[in-house]
Amino acid sequence: MTLPLRPDLVGLEPYGAPQLDVPTLLNVNENPYQPPEVVVEAVVAAVREAAHGLNRYPDRDFLDLRAELAGYLATESGAVGLDASRVWAANGSNEVMLHVLQAFGGPGRVAMSFAPTYSMYPEYARDTLTGWHVVPREPDFSVDPDAAIAEIRRVRPAVVLLASPNNPTGTALPIETTRRLAEATRDTGPDGAATVLVVDEAYAEFRREGTPSAVTLLPEHPHLAVARTMSKAFAYAGARIGYLAAAPELVDALRVVRLPYHLSAVTQAVARAALAHADVLQKQVAAIRTERDACVAWLRERGFVAVDSDANFVLFGTFADRRSVWQGLLDRGVLIRETGPEQYLRVSIGTPEEMAAFRDALTEVTGA
Ligand SMILES: *Cc1c(COP(=O)(O)O)cnc(C)c1O
């Protein structure tokens, strides 16, 4: 007997970085700080309250959570006009973006992105039977708007996925680039429809001064969607909450493809508890940004190439044999990520102690 596995899935392995038990974990861009005690207390109280109602299905449309996410996003980005009808959420922004492909991709359609970028994007395309087209970024990992627009006109993708700040390079898109792409994609999709332009801002809170969020462009562009997550800045990767802001018509299309009650009552309660303490969590974000800039400066001082980062990680190199450097760090208890362009490695920003362990290990391994 054989299982009737889809031919395109034969031999494929599940995606995921190694989960190893070592002292210094700097490989999946987690926030190194545990949620502060005041958040833990709020979570416990919220879950206790929600537990009494677990015999019932949760609020399917979770309008309270969506309104609170809209409020947070307005404060964080300075954008106007956000409300519950313009926000969507799911179990991580990966699920939110899968909803986008479920609603707007599909057989005969194409999703497109600019590499190197997040390795999950082609998986959303594969899982929704959407074609996949990838275009290389410029040598400095930026996206050239003229070249991008020409390629979009040629390929006519239903969806474009653009990470800003990008993973694994840390590169943020200038707001002018996003604006030009949004203006150029009103009729570049299938049959003269728009292309849905997804700006994945998973790392937005870590961006440097003077980099506005694409959320500020939403009022003029009903085919723009900005994805965010609580996994990184909110120190909430384990809670699995991601969200997206877009025009109400776009959000309504996502409501069609979601599974019923996809966001559990516990998840909704836990998300709202953290949102009520967003200000406390911002302090950790500031500490991580400082540590990131210090890491870039240190790497350059030691003669490495370090890519400018607006995120909570740094892509650095270059190594003729990056595997042996990665292994050397691991042998010293420091797990980073072997990803991105050949010759580069990516390190997530940890606590000052963790970054000291990283610097010591790298110095030993490379003699820098
Ligand atoms: C971490 C990350 C996400 C967030 O994933 P979640 O499912 O929300 O945990 C999204 N996009 C990129 C580019 C990321 O690196």
CA max distance for the chain = 60
Q: Select from 241, 276, 311 the last residue of a domain.
A: 276
Instruction: In whole angstroms, give the CA distance from residue 60 to residue 255.
Output: 10
Same domain, 44 and 174: yes
Same domain, 84 and 125: yes
**Ligand 1 pocket: which of 27, 88, 118, 244 to mutate (most atoms <8 Å of CB)?**
118
DSSP at 131 = E
Same domain, 77 and 123: yes
Please, what are the averages of pLDDT over each run of 10 residues along the chain (368 residues)?
Answer: 95 88 96 96 98 97 98 96 98 98 98 97 98 97 98 98 98 97 98 97 95 96 98 96 98 97 98 96 92 98 97 97 98 97 97 98 95
Q: In the prediction, which pLDDT does 282 show?
A: 84
Q: 89 and 242 in contact (C-beta within 8 Å)?
A: yes
Q: Tokens 């604006």 label which residue?
A: 179
Q: 31-35: long-range contacts (C-beta < 8 A, 24 or more apart)? A: 31/232, 31/233, 31/234, 31/235, 31/236, 31/237, 31/284, 31/288, 31/312, 32/288, 32/348, 32/349, 32/350, 32/351, 32/354, 33/235, 33/284, 33/287, 33/351, 34/235, 35/235, 35/236, 35/274, 35/281
Q: In the prediction, which pLDDT does 125 show?
A: 98
Residue 174 lies in domain: 38-276
Same domain, 209 and 103: yes
Q: 207 and 172 in contact (C-beta within 8 Å)?
A: yes
Same domain, 211 and 320: no
168 Cα: distance to centroid of ligand 1 (angstroms) = 11
User: Does 9 fall in a domain?
Assistant: no
Q: Select from 276, 309, 329 the last residue of a domain.
A: 276
The two tokens of residue 250 are 């776009």
Ligand 1 pocket, CB under 6 A: 29, 92-94, 118, 163, 167, 200, 202, 229, 231-232, 237, 242
Same domain, 23 and 121: no
Ligand 1, atom 10, lies closest to the CA of: 202
Ligand 1, atom 2, lies closest to the CA of: 202
Ligand 1, atom 15, lies closest to the CA of: 167
User: Does 10 fall in a domain?
Assistant: no
The residues with which 49 forms a beta bridge, in sequence order, are: none
**Tens digit of each residue's pLDDT (9 = 90 or more) over 240-294:** 999 999 999 999 999 999 999 999 999 999 999 999 999 998 889 999 999 999 9
Among the listed residues 194, 157, 152, 205, the one whose alpha carbon sits nearest the alpha carbon of residue 177: 152
User: Does 6 fall in a domain?
Assistant: no
Ligand 1, atom 11, lies closest to the CA of: 202
Q: 352 and 291 in contact (C-beta within 8 Å)?
A: yes
Q: Select from 276, 292, 327 the last residue of a domain.
A: 276
Indicate the pairing of strand 305-306 with strand 313-317: antiparallel
Q: In the prediction, which pLDDT does 16 show?
A: 83
User: CA-CA distances (angstroms) from residue 180 to 150, 173, 186, 323, 324?
Assistant: 12, 11, 11, 39, 42
Same domain, 142 and 287: no
Question: Domain of 328: which CATH number?
Answer: 3.90.1150.10
Report which ligand 1 atom has the smallest distance to the Cα of 230.
8
Residue 98: count of CB within 10 angstroms of its CB? 23
Q: In the prediction, which pLDDT does 283 show?
A: 87
Instruction: In whole angstroms, give the CA distance from residue 44 to residue 95.
Output: 25
Same domain, 111 and 160: yes
**Ligand 1 pocket: which of 199, 228, 232 to mutate (most atoms <8 Å of CB)?**
232
Same domain, 103 and 71: yes
Residue 5: count of CB within 10 angstroms of its CB? 10
Number of domains observed in the structure of the chain: 2
Q: 178 and 223 in contact (C-beta within 8 Å)?
A: no
User: Does 2 fall in a domain?
Assistant: no
Same domain, 292 and 227: no
DSSP at 82 = -
User: Does 327 fall in a domain?
Assistant: yes
User: Does 191 fall in a domain?
Assistant: yes
User: Does 285 fall in a domain?
Assistant: yes
Q: 89 and 263 in contact (C-beta within 8 Å)?
A: yes
367 Cα: distance to centroid of ligand 1 (angstroms) = 34
Give the DSSP per-residue string, 271-298: HHHHHTTHHHHHHHHHHHHHHHHHHHHH
Report which ligand 1 atom has the smallest distance to the Cα of 240.
9
309 Cα: distance to centroid of ligand 1 (angstroms) = 16
Same domain, 27 and 82: no
270 Cα: distance to centroid of ligand 1 (angstroms) = 18
Q: In the prediction, which pLDDT does 160 show?
A: 98
User: Does 8 fall in a domain?
Assistant: no
Question: Domain of 215: which CATH number?
Answer: 3.40.640.10
Backbone region of residue 210 per phi and psi (left: phi > 0; alpha: psi in -120 to 50; beta: other values): left
Same domain, 254 and 287: no
53 Cα: distance to centroid of ligand 1 (angstroms) = 30
Q: In the prediction, which pLDDT does 218 show?
A: 97
Backbone region of residue 115 per phi and psi (left: phi > 0; alpha: psi in -120 to 50; beta: other values): beta
